[in-house]
């Protein structure tokens, strides 16, 4: 029997099933295991090779399959968001009455919608850990990825209180701040601060590659400014295409505003209005104050 303190601290989540053992699933597994050495992390993935890598790297303790989900205290789903939407109802069918399913997907409206009327909706918690890198797969998993980062939790009131309490304790223990939002609000805001950044990095990379593909030497001139701005263009298309698809209307709105700003900048250049260009940049320097303490 776990002690009262163990229950309070979420340690009674002994069997944790990680569905998806890439950057996010693998990194969560590392941190949860570090803080709770007694838990057993069971890994589930499409490809056996991925699971073998996760096992060899020590991200998971055991390989498992979807048929084992009934034994789970906690299931963490960290696979592309279209796959999450397809799999979630089945997972809720399979999980025990005391088990909790959480997802780490970068969109929240479609994911919350697909389970809204599921009889076990109270065994699901929707979240989005705002942490990551441009790398993917089990080899990208790193310790401490979530320390000091925000975990956005949606529709918390729809999850059984004792399950949400255990899960939130687990994520707080690995260093995360919890913030609550509704799924639509999450998707609207994240389109600006994450999805648009990825599109602009992909298109910056494309612009330079298209222009410079026959001049490899030019990349010797690419300083840290280019490297840091284009970093996100290394991200996985398998993960990002379903995100853009699920958040299409918000993403299009951000793109319209971004394209307007680029068009205005171009017009100022064409008009030799460098005073206005200076002011545009000066006003945008305010981003330093906004981001101070965040990154
Ligand atoms: P990842 O490193 O590419 O790992 C994806 C995992 O999902 C792998 O284990 C892969 O296993 C599996 N997978 C891929 N396609 C699948 C499919 N169609 N059906 C079932 N499984 C599939 O991706 P990640 O960065 O960890 O992202 C996982 C989730 O976290 C996504 O929902 C993403 O939106 C969210 N997220 C990402 C970030 C970020 O910065 N990367 C941040 C926060 C949240 P196999 O090799 O066996 O296919």
pLDDT tens, residue order, the chain (295 aa): 454 445 555 457 899 999 999 999 999 999 999 999 999 999 999 999 999 999 999 999 999 999 999 999 999 999 999 999 999 999 999 999 999 999 999 999 999 999 999 999 999 999 999 999 999 999 999 999 999 999 999 999 999 999 999 999 999 999 999 999 999 999 999 999 999 999 999 999 999 888 776 666 666 777 778 888 889 999 999 999 999 999 999 999 999 999 999 999 999 999 999 999 999 999 999 888 878 766 6
Going from the Cα of 127 to the center of ligand 1, the distance in angstroms, rounded, reads: 15
d(CA 189, CA 166) in angstroms, rounded, equals: 27
What is the radius of gyration, based on Cα positions, of the chain?
Answer: 21
The rounded Å distance from CA 75 to ligand 1 centre is 15
The confidence score (pLDDT) of residue 8 equals 52
What is the distance in A from the centroid of ligand 1 to the CA of 275?
A: 45
pLDDT of residue 10: 47
Q: Which of these, 174, 177, 128, 169, lies nearest to 294 by C-alpha position?
A: 177
Domain span at 221: 186-291
Q: Are residues 208 and 273 in the same domain?
A: yes
CA distances to 85, 107, 180 from 185, in Å: 19, 11, 10
Q: How far is the CA of 171 from the centre of ligand 1 (A)?
A: 19
CB burial string 96-122: b at 16+ within 10 A, e below: eeebbbbbbbbbbbbbbebbeeeebeb
Spatial neighbors of 230 by CB under 8 A, at least 6 apart, are 201, 204, 205, 208
Q: For residue 82, give the CATH number of its domain.
A: 3.40.50.720
CA distances from 17 to 8, 63, 69, 185 (A): 20, 9, 7, 29
Identify the burial level of 215 via C-beta atoms within 10 angstroms of its C-beta, where 0-12 means exposed, 13-18 middle and 19 or more buried: exposed
Percent composition of the chain: helix, strand, coil (DSSP 3-state, to 5): 60, 15, 30
Q: Which of 17, 18, 20, 50 for a ligand 1 pocket mutation test, highest count of atoms within 8 Å of Cβ?
A: 20
From 165, 181, 197, give the residue that closes a domain. Answer: 181
Q: Measure CA 45 to chain center.
A: 17
Q: In this structure, are 30 and 74 located in the same domain?
A: yes
pLDDT for res 287: 86
| Rounded percentage of the chain residues whose pLDDT exceeds 90 | 84
64 and 143 belong to one structural domain:
yes
Q: Which residues line ligand 1 (CB under 6 A)?
A: 20-25, 45-47, 50, 78-81, 83-84, 104-106, 128-129, 132, 136-137, 140, 236, 238-239, 243
58 and 151 inside one domain: yes
Residue nearest to atom 39 of ligand 1 (CA): 132
Which residue's alpha carbon is at the smallest distance from atom 3 of ligand 1? 136
By residue count, the chain amounts to: 295
The reported pLDDT for the residue numbered 4 is 47
Q: Are residues 109 and 131 in the same domain?
A: yes
58 & 17 share domain: yes
> Are 277 and 220 members of one domain?
yes
- Percent of the chain at pLDDT above 70? 92
Ligand 1 atom 40, closest CA: 132
User: What dihedral angle (degrees, nearest 10) is formed by the CA atoms of 178, 183, 189, 190?
Assistant: 80
Domain boundary among 181, 211, 232: 181
Answer yes or no: do 151 and 198 share one domain: no
103 and 210 inside one domain: no
CATH number of the domain that residue 228 is part of: 1.10.3660.10
Instruction: Give the DSSP letter of residue 130.
Output: E
First to last CA, the chain: 42
Domain total of the chain: 2
Same domain, 171 and 196: no
Per-residue pLDDT at 134: 93
State how far the Cα of 25 lies from the Cα of 22, in Å rounded to an integer.
5
pLDDT digits (tens, 9 = 90+) for 133-148: 999 999 999 999 999 9
Q: Same structural domain for residues 271 and 156? A: no
Domain end residue (candidates: 134, 155, 181): 181
Task: Tell me: do 195 and 116 sit in the same domain.
Answer: no
CA 212 to centroid of ligand 1, rounded, Å:
32
Average pLDDT in the chain = 93
Expressed in angstroms and rounded, the spacing between residue 61 Cα and the centre of ligand 1 is: 19
Query: Can you give the pLDDT at residue 29?
Result: 98
pLDDT of residue 3: 47
User: Are 104 and 78 in contact, with CB atoms under 8 Å apart?
Assistant: yes
């Amino acid at each position: 029997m776990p002690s009262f303190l163990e229950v309070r601290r979420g340690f009674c989540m002994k069997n944790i099933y990680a569905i998806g053992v890439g950057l996010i699933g693998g990194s969560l597994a590392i941190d949860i295991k570090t803080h709770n050495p007694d838990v057993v992390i069971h890994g589930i993935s499409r490809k056996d090779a991925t699971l073998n890598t996760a096992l060899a790297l020590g991200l998971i303790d055991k390989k498992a399959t979807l048929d084992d989900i009934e034994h789970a205290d906690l299931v963490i789903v960290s696979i592309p968001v279209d796959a999450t939407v397809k799999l979630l109802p089945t997972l809720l069918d399979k999980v025990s009455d005391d088990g909790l399913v959480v997802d780490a997907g970068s969109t929240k409206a479609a994911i919350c919608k697909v389970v809204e009327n599921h009889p076990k909706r109270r065994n699901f918690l929707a979240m989005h850990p705002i942490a990551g890198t441009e790398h993917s797969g089990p080899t990208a998993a790193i310790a401490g990825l979530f320390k000091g980062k925000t975990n956005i939790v949606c529709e918390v009131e729809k999850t059984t209180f004792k399950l949400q309490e255990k899960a939130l304790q687990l994520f707080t223990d690995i260093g995360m701040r919890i913030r609550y939002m509704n799924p639509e609000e999450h998707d609207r805001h994240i389109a600006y601060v994450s999805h648009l950044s990825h599109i602009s990095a992909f298109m910056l990379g494309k612009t330079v590659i298209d222009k410079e593909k026959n001049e490899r030497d030019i990349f010797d001139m690419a300083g840290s400014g280019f490297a840091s701005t284009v970093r996100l263009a290394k991200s996985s298309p398998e993960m990002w295409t379903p995100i853009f698809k699920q958040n299409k209307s918000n993403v299009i709105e951000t793109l319209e505003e971004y394209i307007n700003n680029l068009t205005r900048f171009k017009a100022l250049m064409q008009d030799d209005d460098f005073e206005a260009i200076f002011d545009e940049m000066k006003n945008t320097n305010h981003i330093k104050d906004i981001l101070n303490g965040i990154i």
